[in-house]
Amino acid sequence: MFHRLALGAVALGLALAAGTSQAAPAPPTPPARAALPGAAAAAAGIAAAGAPAPRPQVTAVASAPGSTTALAGYAIQSTAKVTDSAAAVSSPGYPAAGWYPAGPRSTVLAALLAAGVYPDPFYSTHQQQIPAADFDVPWWYRSDFTVTDTAARTYLDFSGVISAADVFVNGRPIATAADVAGAYTRHEFDVTALVGEGANTVAFRIQPNDPRKKLTMSWLDWLQPPPDENMGIVRDVTVRRGGPVALRDAHVVTALAMPSMSTADLTVKAQVRNDSAATVTATVAGTAGPAAVSRSVTLAPGEARTLVFSPADHPALRLGPPRVWWPATMGEQPMYGLDLTATVNGAPSDTARQSFAVRDVQAPLNADGARQYRINGRPLLVKGAGWSPDEFLRWDRTYVEDRLKYALDLGLNTLRLEGHIEPDEFFDLADRYGVLTLPGWECCSKWEGEVNGTEAGERWDPSDYPVSRASMAAEAARLRHHPSVISFLIGSDFAPNEEIERGYLDALRAADWTAPVVPAASDDASPVTGPSGMKMTGPYDWVPPGYWYEKREGGATGFNSETSAGPDVPTLDTLRRTMSPAELETLWKNPSAAQYHRSPSRAFATLALYNAALAGRYGPPTGLDDYVRKAQLAQYENVRAQFEAYARHAKDASAPSTGVIYWMFNSGWTSLQWQLVDRFLDQGGAYFGAKKANEPLHIQYGYADRSVAVVNNLPSAASGLTARVTLFTPDGEQRYDRTVTGLSVAGGGASSTALTVPESVADLPTTYLARLLLTDGAGHEVSRNVYWLSTREDVLDYESSNWYSTPTTSYADLRGLNAMRQATVTAAASTTQDGAGTSTTTVTVRHTGTGTTPALLTDVHLVGAQGAPVLPVRWSDNQVSLWPGESATLTATYRTGDLRGSAPRLRISGWNTRTATVPAG
């Protein structure tokens, strides 16, 4: 929603129009110390708990027409502690004594945590100690800014208010909470008449948030919700300057000629608005990519008009050939720029700048009714995961960029944002790195109070409908130019009813939205858009790896919008940073105990299903170390199987898989569930299982039929390949060996079956190992994959499935792994620096033991002087399994500064390898 409120001498006028801000990036609000990974906390410069925090700085507003200045921060305080009037609080010079500083994007609780008011909420149950009653009343946010030139017009422009706010400028009210409502609505107020030379003040009286009653943000069962429910201002509030004519809603609509991609038509649109009291002639001129555009227009006082520049009147807007944007796994990511200036009498009045790209996205339903994405005409198996922001919605560009690089490192191509739609910089980074995104509204809150069905939810009142439409208009205008955004999901668990859907579709159409619109993430349909083409059949809790190969429930068929085997227990390093010693004892000793760091939901309050499977398949844990060791092994095999099954079935003639979103990529806090990478960016079995499954040229084992296949994720075909499969006892005695030569497999995700392992192999024990090797024509190893399997398979009771899991009635017997002999692994390493702040450690791990026993899942952790992991780090490979005499050379890339001056070291461990730490050069 985009409000424009012109303030005259007395009267207030209100107009609605969709638009986007050209806000300059503001310094990020650093997360609280405990929430930051590795050295990032020190880099953020956060004061120690209890130390006096600095007052927010006064923002100096630029004077140039077309400039946009983000407020640098706020002073905040509870209205329960402020007895002064709103006029006083919002006037320059108000002392704000005893108020807390807050960054430019900050919830109330984020500011209080940064000020050291509460203990680390990410550790143990500390968050329970924060009194929720403190946030049952409104909180004041006030910020001072200075203006040196009052000849220019001044506008206040913002979104991201949770949940609503009364707004004041220099002691005068400019909007009420009824006007400024909803986390995603956008507002512009013309405050020229109120702003004076020198000091000025804007104040927001933020209303408490209840996501069950407001169209804002919630956490449902993802994590223990913050006591303040994220009330605050979580996007930039900007002060825009301009002349008599304002330039708004400037954007480029691209149309790529398909299938040739030989040309692309650009259509430039911009709203020109006369905010003066006189008739004005303005010239709008600039460039869209390589093409120049220009036009003059005469506007009456208060008149607004949309200018359209097309190839029909500006032939240069037909590009040929264009530089086409691709996802990272498919090509390059070139971007173009739109740069417009409105001039009046030869003087600049306003400017608009925006990046855009040329690409085509289609997502038709296939013959089975599943949504099949096509990027620039090429089919794409969506391999993704669910994205979570920080629990307190703190923005840290470096932390976000690190996670996006992790996603690419895992071979993922897509991230789904269910609600919690991140700031502009997130999508800028996604564009830059070629990471596709699926933003949409969230489930199970006020957003799904009225659905296309009979399900009961929080019913909407008349005021909710304009907020929903305005939210859609604002997000559509903000996201439409990002090539990384390939859809908007207007429903999650349910599709909206017809009235709400038409409001969304009208807003999207008005914003020139060109990407597919998906009615729901579940197998649901909406009255206008029709079937979703997606399924949401789970699971969300533990299932065995073989589950993923069955074409039923959550198995590898169609597009599964959110699914995983649930718990993802992090590394021991992270657990010790997350839970108290007593909680860690309970974690492994009491399988059915409630776990605060799992979920507030009754369905996911414990790790009972997961722990039963861990003990049933691998044997009961003998201690915390053993519990975590088994967890990493179990998570590696399960996550690997999920991605492998979907990749294997992508080209099936019947019921192919078209997309899978692992639930989730990361957690917003310190968690025991739904994460491929933990809060501190440490990597365990789940991470490296996904990385192995998604490697470019990959050999894999099919749990359903014992077939060995090669999946080629490279764009071109591969030939002259050799596949070898060997079965061993846990101690490495060979029981079966077969090699197939001359294999060829097409590119683009195609697969080819090399062989099928016999159903029965002589003298094979109940627990056994399968080593799969793929070599190229020169004999170089291009893929290695080791499985631990059982002649006694997991048995599933599909008829008793529920929405979050399918029961396992009998477990595979992998207990034979516990008897594996110890293996000896040595490491030799060296480290280089590139002079730009990046270090690379190269390590060769070698199985130097005698006999036949392999070293299973050898893990290498880069650590600093105190033995703590250096994070983030990107490994070429890790958690490798080696037979006697074998070696593997791995590389780790990381920021040199994260060593904090110490020499790098390597901690080597594994399933049957003693832990040792060695220098890394």
Question: Looking at the annotation, which residues are catalytic?
Answer: 493, 562
Q: Rounded CA gap, 334 and 356, in Å?
A: 9
CA dihedral 286, 292, 297, 299 (to 10 degrees): -30
163: cis peptide before it, omega within 30°?
yes
β-bridge pairing 795-796 and 808-810:
antiparallel
- 207 Cβ neighbours under 8 A, 6+ residues apart: 138, 163, 164, 165, 177, 231
Helix or strand run (H / E) with residue 341: strand 336-344
Q: Output the CA–CA distances (angstroms, integers) from residue 535 to 392, 659, 660, in the order listed.
A: 30, 10, 10
Task: Return the DSSP state at 116.
Answer: T
Pairing mode of beta strands 517-518, 488-489: parallel
Does residue 79 contact residue 52 with C-beta atoms inside 8 Å? Answer: no
**What's at 284, amino acid-wise?**
V
Give 172's Cβ-side CA count (13 Å radius).
Answer: 16
* Joined tokens for residue 687: 């991470």
Query: Which string of DSSP letters, residue by residue, matches 183-202?
Result: SS-EEEEE-TTT--SEEEEE
Contacts of the segment 829-835: beta carbons below 8 A, 24+ positions apart: 829/906, 829/918, 829/919, 829/920, 829/921, 830/920, 830/921, 831/904, 831/920, 831/921, 833/896
Give me the DSSP letters along 702-745. Answer: -TTT-EEEEEE-SSS-EEEEEEEEEEE-TT--EEEEEEEEEEEE
Residue with tokens 């390059």: 332
Which tokens is 712 given? 């080629």
The residues near 666 (Cβ < 8 Å, ≥ 6 apart) are 385, 387, 388, 403, 675, 676, 677, 678, 679
- Per 3-state DSSP, the chain is made up of helix, strand and coil in percentages (nearest 5) of 20, 35, 45
- β-partners of residue 292 are 287
CA distance 607 to 626: 16
Q: Cβ(508)–Cβ(458) under 8 Å?
A: no
H-helix or E-strand containing 774?
strand 767-775
Helix (H, G, I), strand (E, B) or coil at 764: coil
Q: Are strands 880-882 and 855-863 parallel, antiparallel or unpaired?
A: antiparallel
Which tokens in the block code for residue 725?
């499969």
